[in-house]
Amino acid sequence: SKDMLSAEVIDTIASLGGGNEMLVGLFDSFLVDTKDLIENSEEDWKGRALDTLKREIHTLKGLCGTIGANQIFEVCYLINNDLKNNSDVFLDLYMGKLLEITPSLINHIESTYY
C-alpha cells in the first residue's frame, strides 16, 4: 500500500515547509472528505444517481491528485471518463476497484502519519 502515495508528491509537500505537521493537516481534511465521498458515491452508484456520482468522483479525483494518491486518481479518471461519455459499461468494475483500494490508502495514511 506504500505505492498508493507518490513519494515525490509527499516530499514536495513536506519541503514546502511545515514538514509532517503540514502533511497531517492536509491528510486530516483528505481523510474526512474522502470517507464522505466514498460513502456517498457508493450509495449513488448503487442507486444509479449518476449525475451526483460524477460530481463526487470528480472531487475525489482532485483530492487524490493533490496528495499523489495515483492509483485512486487513475480509477477516478476512468470512472469520470465513462460518466462523461454517458457510458456505464465499466462502471461496476471501476467502482468495485475504487471501493476495494480506498480503505488501503486510508489505513496507510492513518498508520503512517498519525
Residue pLDDT, tens place only, 39-73:
999 999 999 999 999 999 999 999 999 999 999 99
Instruction: Give percent helix, percent strand, percent coil of the chain, each to the nearest 5.
Output: 85, 0, 15
Q: Express as a percent the part of the chain with pLDDT over 90.
A: 75
Q: Which three cell numbers stand for residue 92?
A: 461496476
CA distances from 67 to 35, 52, 62, 64, 87 (A): 15, 23, 9, 5, 28
pLDDT band at 98 (very low <50, low <70, confident <90, very high): very high
- pLDDT tens readout for residues 20-39: 788 888 899 999 999 999 99
What letter represents residue 67's amino acid?
I
